[in-house]
Amino acid sequence: MIAQREFFLFRKQRESTVFNHIFLSVLVLFSLGPVVLLGVNSFKSNAEMGLNPLGLPQEWRLENFGRAWEKGEFERTFKNSVIYVVGTVSLALVLCGLAAYSLARKNPPGANFVMIYLLVASTVPIWLYLVPLFFMWRQLGFLNTYHGLILIYTAFNAPFSIFLLRSYLIGLPVELEDAARVDGANELQVLLKVIVPLAWPGFLTVGLVVGLGVWSEFQVAVIFTHNPEMFPVTTSYFKFTDRFGRDWSLTNAGAFMMVAPVLVLFLALQRRFVEGLTQGGVKF
Amino acid sequence: MNKKRIILLALLALLASLFAGAAVAQETVTVWAADDETGSCWARLLVDTFPRDDIEIEVVLQPGSSLVDAQRTALQGGAGPDITFSHGPSFMLELANAGLLLSLDHYADEYGWGDRFAPWALDLGRVEGSLYSLSEELETVILYYNKTVFEEQGWEIPTTMDGLYALADAIREAGLVVMGPAFGECAPCFEWAVSVFFTHHAGPEKTYEALTGQRPWTDPAFVEAITALKDIVQDGWYMGGLDLFFSDTFQQAHSLFGAGEIAMSFEGTWMLDNYQRDYFGEPGGNENEWDWFAFPTTFSEEPHFVIGVGSSWGISQWSQNPDAAAAVLDFYYSTSYQAESHSVCGNAPAPLLYEGDVFANADPREARLYQEFGQASAAGNYGYTSWSFWPARTNVWLWEQITRVYDDQISVEDYLAGMQKEFEEEFAEGLIPPIPPR
Amino acid sequence: MARDLSMPDDSQYAKTPGLPRSKSKRGGQWTRYRLMRYYIVPWLFLIPILGLHAFVVVIPAMQGVYYSFTDWSGIGEAKFIGLRNFEEMFFEDQSYIDALSRNVQWMIFRMIVPFTFALFGASLLAKVKRGAMIYRTALFMPFILPSIVTATIWRYLYNPRFGLPTLVGYDKALLGQSDTALWAIAFADNWQFWGFLMVLFLTAMQGIDPVLYDAAKVDGANRWQEFWHVTLPGIRPVVLFMMMMVMIWAFLVFDYVFILTGGGPAGATEVIAIDIYKNAFQRFEAGYAAAQGMTICLFASLVVSAFAFLRKRGWDI
């Protein structure tokens, strides 16, 4: 009996994770292999991309990046995309934060309906309302403006943001809020002083996912902006196309530059980001 | 009473003319263009060389892949550029039918466009007798070949279909792939070969009759043509196998063509510039050369060509300055601008009547193309590309369902019967682009 | 673990000590307070975003709904034709039915493969301390790359001339054959998606009470039994919620298919969204395309209602 228990303790302490590490490494190889390939390919010439798309380049052409930068006019499009991302993320966090708080804590009449509405509305294909929306935006003078696109992006991202934030807020303890209320705080103060400081990893997560979506959005942007001064970074990336096909070496270099800031931001924030997902626990 | 009225009117007229005089300031004309090498080049050229000071041209470069869709949305929403661009007559027909284009008839009279264009080219832009669009970018589909490899192997240029079959056998015996490209990136591109086989196999007259509703698409001549096409595709002429033909990229195919692993390329004349720029010689990392020949026919040894236009221009219903826009179009469709745009930017020339040696600066292979093309169309040896002459729904059927034929999911007969059904519907609705009489 | 996609039940409020029940003596005041507190304020918080969403999506979509009952080329006049589009779609248009069945196949693939990858990865990762952050980051990374680039890499990886097939001596292009193309695309899409799913599952797993694992150990459970009896039940709400999302998203799939095959080869990967795109922008049948778009919403609401129904029946979704 005792021996058995000791054996159990022994096992528990030294549970082997070698097996885990081996399989995880295989999975990492699977995930990162194509990413590395993208990096390597951005150094090849266009003709070499066709003949040797998976190997190392015969010649590491650094100039691909310079050419892609210039031809893609990244300087301008980067700036625009930063504006779109920051604008959308701020607006989405404020508005969706309010809504999520209400749904998670206030249980307003019709909450169920709101949730189902959001789920279904997020599946309306954009072709169904593109033209009417465009017409409306033109009437309002929102075409070719930063706020015009930011409003659209915020609306698009609303369902997901509300869901994620709400599930995050549900996981937080309510005691602190109640304490604040007893101290005479109103609802907005509770939200700002108690919820936001507690839930900021959740907000960060939503912000990252929304920002990522806006950063790589293309289709809506080109329809609602007709002025190159307003184009986002994704349009740079489509500059390397011909009527048929495209220059894949510049495309890859351009893609690499487009992704680089996202990667850096992700790596810098990833600890917080993953914490955002883990600490509160995503609850649905 | 009457007198007073007349004086009043005269005063008003005077006032109006004064205002008009005061408003001589610049008028702006906007144009959207595809943001690629050629597009950005001719856009700059147009702005720089346009002679009139009172008109400012504003070219907006847009990502090519979404240009037409974005413009469609904008036009419907009451916005968009003054000068509208589209992928050719059948797209323009749709815009004209929706009342989004201005009639160009009086501009054509004013500027004398009737004498400047190849007659069939102007007809392409007419809807119920009225001119709505002008054709651009004359193009056809030809067989490019790797000249270096051909010389090494001692292969001759075929002038008949039988000759082509023999050549294909020889190429495969030498361990090479007969031809590219592959259409993994472009589903509509399957229309190229189908267009060529209607004209080069069944013949241009029969195709003309079918397009004008005098002969059904189920005619045995067409069955034969499509069966012949299906056989060579299934035989692996393209890329060595159906799977690669269906899935590879253009770049892949062009690189292999430049490197000499693929002997020929069944491509459009829009590639004339690109092969030299990207895939042959130094940029391609090889020492090969390319040239081209016309796809042979079953009925003649003379070169035949399918005619297509890559794009069309019109003036938007919403344009604030239609007169200025017409002036820009007039300059754009001058032989001198077209020749310059061609030599500087490699833009395919518009179907104008060129006199003398305006393409003197062009690559000799290209010069030969326009020369042979001109001779062929003068002799009636021209046929039809589906993207310029077929109505929209029938054309989608044409490129979408031919892949099912290649994949043995439907028979050639069913394919043509389906095409006939779509065609009849669109014919009844008056959606057939204008077919110039032969 | 909280309950699911919708509202927490009233018991939560009963437990909340901060409610000022005893403070109010007069009924009228209480009602007004109650009205403010439980109706007006929560809705004040909801209205801005719901209003914006309605303004951008729902109001314009109403017009789209109207178009679904018309014969409309996409520009110009729309002719009202009642239910004719729907009639044609369900009874005459074989390509629509085929497309729909491909979406269902896609859905099934999506509900099996990425979930298996993600559950496997997450349960391995949950046990690892050293290097956990690196694994997590690496496995999540494909999710942040733009699909136009990643899709292209997969085209090369599937190429029989130099890609993965050469490793196993297979000499056909997976994307170029009508019986393999859809699965090849789905797998490439899985590569990008599963890391996201994994992070969500991992998060949920860390919320499982460790006592449950200890108990399983005491009972002598092996890894599989532990996973099946402790881990999976512990994260069931997230798994089921994501199942629902994946089912909804399966009707919207467009990107990867459009980039890799555009619906080919020989129509083998033509899913609904591709069909809609073709009808709207290539065949100039925008009214019909709108009707097809409507059916996507319809299927999505069916899925959502099914889950809502199951939850009402007491399933812990």
What pLDDT digit, counting tens, does each position of C117-166 carry? Answer: 999 999 999 888 888 888 988 898 888 887 777 887 888 888 888 778 87
pLDDT above 60 (res A2): no
Q: Do C60 and A34 touch (CB under 8 A)?
A: no
**Hey, are the CB atoms on B76 and A134 less than 8 Å from each other?**
yes
From the CA of C39, how many Å to the nearest CA of chain A? Answer: 6
Q: Which residues contact A83 (CB under 8 A, 6 or more apart)?
A: A146
Mean pLDDT of C296-300: 87
**pLDDT-wise least confident of A85-99, B123-137, B341-355:** B341-355
pLDDT in tens, A111-164: 888 888 888 887 787 877 887 888 889 889 898 899 999 999 999 999 888 987
How many angstroms separate the CA atoms of B112 and B132, rounded? 15
Q: CA dist B163 to A127, B147, B157, B166, B301, Å?
A: 49, 17, 8, 5, 11
DSSP SS3 for B192: helix
- What CATH number was assigned to the domain covering residues B23-139+308-362? 3.40.190.10
In B, which residues are within 8 Å of C152 by CB distance? 249
CB within 8 Å: B407 and C265: yes
Q: Are residues C189 and C136 in the same domain?
A: yes
In this predicted structure, the answer to whether residue A8 has a pLDDT above a threshold of 80 is no
Is residue C70, in this structure, part of any structural domain at all?
A: yes
How many CB pairs below 8 Å do chains A and B form together? 112
Instruction: Give start-end residues of each CATH 1.10.3720.10 domain in chain A.
Output: 66-278
Report the distance separating Cα A217 and Cα A87, nearest Å.
14
Q: Do C127 and A132 touch (CB under 8 A)?
A: no
**Residue B4 in this model has a pLDDT that exceeds 80:** no
Name subunits touching A (3+ CB pairs < 8 A).
B, C
Report the alpha-carbon angle A162-A163-A167, nearest 5.
Answer: 115
Quick one: which of B437, B433, B436 has its CA closest to B391?
B433
Give yes or no for residue B349 having a pLDDT over 80: yes
Phi, psi of A174 (to 5 degrees): -90, -10
Token pair of B149, please? 């490899």
Would you state the pLDDT for residue C1?
A: 33
Q: CA-nearest residue of chain A to B67?
A: A222
Share of chain A above pLDDT 70, in %: 88
The beta-carbon neighbor of A284 closest among C17, C57, C238 is C238
Distance between CA atoms of residues C305 and B428, nearest Å = 44
Other CB atoms within 10 A of residue B122 CB: 22
Mean pLDDT confidence for A200-207? 81
Contact A125 C293 (CB under 8 A): yes
Question: Mean pLDDT, to the nearest integer, of B339-367?
Answer: 82
| Half-sphere exposure in the Cβ direction for B243 (13 Å, CA) | 17
- Nearest by Cα to B65 from C185, A246, A75, C271: A246
Of A7-16, C94-103, C227-236, the range with the lowest mean pLDDT is: A7-16
How far out from the chain centre does Cα B27 lie?
Answer: 31
Task: Scan residues 285-304 of C and list those with Cβ closer than 8 Å to B.
Answer: 285
Same domain, C103 and C56: no
Partner-chain contact B78 A246, CB within 8 Å: no
> CB distance A28–C138 less than 8 Å?
yes
Q: ipTM score here?
A: 0.82
pTM for the whole thing? 0.83
Gap between the Cα atoms of A101 and A195, Å rounded: 8
Q: Which residue has the higher pLDDT, A64 or C109?
A: C109
Q: Residue C22's pLDDT is what? A: 42
The predicted structure's pLDDT at residue C316:
55
Question: B167: how many CB neighbours lie within 10 A of its CB?
Answer: 21
Q: Indicate yes or no: CB of B256 within 8 angstroms of CB of A46.
A: no
B chain contacts of residue C79, beta-carbon cutoff 8 Å: none
Most confident segment among A116-120, B187-191, C4-8:
B187-191
Domain ranges of chain B: 23-139+308-362, 141-306+381-428
The residue among C56, C123, C194, C241 with the most chain A CBs within 10 A of its CB, best to mutate, is C56
Task: Say if the Cβ atoms of C281 and B75 lie within 8 Å.
Answer: no
Question: d(Cα B150, Cα B290) in Å, to the nearest integer?
Answer: 10
Q: A241 to chain B: which residues are within 8 Å by CB? A: 36, 63-65
Calculate the average pLDDT of chain B.
88
Residue C20's pLDDT band, with cuts at 50, 70 and 90, is very low
Binned at pLDDT 50, 70 and 90, residue C167 comes out as: confident
Grouping H, G, I as helix, E, B as strand and the rest as coil, residue B60 is strand
| Predicted local confidence at residue C30, as pLDDT | 64
Q: Tell me: do C141 and C26 sit in the same domain.
A: no
Give me the pLDDT at residue C194, please: 93
pLDDT digits (tens, 9 = 90+) for C60-105: 988 888 989 998 887 778 889 988 899 988 888 888 999 999 999 9
Letter for the amino acid at B271?
A: M
C300/C305 Cα distance (integer angstroms): 9
Label residue A243 by pLDDT band (50, 70, 90): low
- Closest residue, chain C, to B426 (C-alpha): C283
Predicted pLDDT at A3: 44
**Furthest-apart CA atoms within chain B: distance in Å:** 97
C182: alpha, beta or left? (left if phi > 0; alpha if psi -120 to 50): alpha
- At residue C4, the pLDDT reads 37
CA distance C261 to C278: 14
Q: Is a pLDDT exceeding 60 seen at residue C27?
A: no
- Predicted confidence band at B13 (pLDDT cuts at 50, 70, 90)? low
**Within chain C, where are the H helices?**
11-15, 27-34, 41-53, 59-67, 84-91, 94-126, 132-140, 147-157, 164-167, 181-205, 210-218, 223-226, 232-234, 236-250, 255-260, 272-281, 286-312
Contacts of C288 (CB under 8 A, 6+ apart): C71, C85, C88, C89, C279
Name the A residues in 8-37 with CB < 8 Å from any C CB.
Answer: 8, 11-12, 15, 17, 20-21, 23-24, 27-28, 30-32, 34-35, 37
Select the residue from C11, C47, C49 to test the A interface by mutation, using most A Cβ atoms within 10 A.
C49
- CB within 8 A of B265, min separation 6: which ones? B143, B144, B145, B179, B180, B181, B253, B254, B257, B271, B275
Burial of B31-41, coded b for 16+ CB within 10 Å and e otherwise, reads bbbbbbbbbbb
Q: Of A174-188, B118-132, B212-226, C218-232, give the lowest mean pLDDT range.
A: A174-188
Measured CA to CA in angstroms, residue B235 lies from B242, B275, B406, B410, C161 at distances of 8, 26, 10, 17, 19
User: Is pLDDT of A108 > 90?
Assistant: no
Instruction: Tell me, yes or no, whether C118 and C71 share the same domain.
Output: no
- Decide: B402 and B194 in contact? Cβ < 8 Å: yes
C233 shares a domain with C164: yes
How many angstroms away from the CA of B280 is the closest CA of chain A? 9
The SS3 assignment for C7 reads coil
Q: Answer for the pair B324, B331: CB distance below 8 angstroms, yes or no.
A: no
User: Pick from C2, C57, C304: which is nearest to A119 by CB?
Assistant: C304
How many angstroms separate the CA atoms of A219 and C281, rounded? 14
Residue B289, pLDDT > 60, answer yes
Q: Which residues of B touch A222 (CB under 8 A)?
A: 62-63, 66, 70
Angle between helices C94-126 and C272-281 (to 10 degrees): 130
Q: Quick one: A198 exposed, middle or buried, by C-beta within 10 A (0-12, 13-18, 19+)?
A: middle
Question: CATH homologous superfamily of domain B141-306+381-428?
Answer: Periplasmic binding protein-like II (3.40.190.10)
Cross-chain Cβ contact A282/C59 below 8 Å: no
CA distance B255 to chain C (A): 13
Which residue in C75, C173, C282 is closest to B76 by CB distance?
Answer: C75
Average pLDDT over residues C54-60: 91
Nearest by CB to residue A178, choosing from C16, C58, C142, is C16
B71 C-beta neighbours (distance < 10 Å), count: 23
Residue C9 lies in a domain: no
Residues of B in contact with A131 (CB under 8 A): 73, 76-77
B169 burial via Cβ count (<10 Å: 0-12, 13-18, 19+): exposed
Q: Are C133 and C141 in contact (CB under 8 A)?
A: no
Structural domain contains residue C51:
yes
Half-sphere exposure of C10 (CA within 13 A, CB side): 2
Q: Tell me whether residues A138 and B79 touch, CB distance under 8 A.
A: yes
Q: Regarding predicted confidence, which is higher, B29 or B19?
A: B29
The CATH number that domain A66-278 falls under is 1.10.3720.10
- Tell me the per-residue pLDDT of B290-302, one tens digit each, with 9 for 90 and over: 999 999 999 999 9
Nearest to B256 among A50, A226, A242 (CB): A50
Question: In this complex, is the C-beta atom of C70 within 8 Å of any C-beta atom belonging to chain B?
Answer: no
Neighbours of A69 (CB within 10 A): 17
For the segment C52-58, the average pLDDT, to the nearest whole number, is 92
Chain C's closest residue to A174, CA to CA, is: C16
Please calculate the CA angle C249-C254-C259 and round it to the nearest 5 degrees: 145
Instruction: Collect all residues of chain C within an 8 Å Cβ-Cβ radius of residue B69.
Output: 281
Examine the pLDDT at B314 and tell me if it is beyond 70.
yes
Give the nearest partner residue to A28 out of C135, C214, C276, using CB atoms.
Answer: C135
Helix (H) or strand (E) segment spanning residue B384: strand B382-384
R_g (Cα) of chain B, nearest Å = 24
Confidence of residue B2 (pLDDT cuts 50, 70, 90): low
* Top-ranked range on mean pLDDT: pick from B413-417, C240-244, C297-301: B413-417
**pLDDT tens digits, B254-277:** 999 999 999 999 999 989 888 888
According to the model, what pLDDT value does residue B437 have? 82
Asked whether residue B418 carries a pLDDT value surpassing 70, the answer given is: yes
Q: Is the dihedral of CA C143, C145, C150, C153 positive or negative?
A: negative
C226 and C271, same domain (yes or no): yes
Structural domain of C58: 21-85
**Stretch A229-240: mean pLDDT, rounded?**
83
Examine the pLDDT at C19 and tell me if it is beyond 50: no
Q: Are strands B130-131 and B126-127 parallel, antiparallel or unpaired?
A: antiparallel
- Asked if B30 and B83 count as a contact pair (C-beta separation under 8 A), the reply is yes
**DSSP-assigned states of every residue in C178-231:** TTTHHHHHHHHHHHHHHHHHHHHHHHHHTTS-HHHHHHHHHTT--HHHHIIIII
For chain B, list residues whose CB is within 8 angstroms of any CB belonging to chain C.
69, 72, 75-76, 94-95, 97-100, 183-188, 241-249, 252, 392-393, 396, 400, 403-404, 406-407, 409
**Predicted confidence (pLDDT) at residue A107 exceeds the cutoff of 70:** yes
Phi-psi region of B307 (alpha: psi -120 to 50; beta: other; left: phi over 0): beta
How far, in whole angstroms, is CA C73 from its chain's centroid?
31
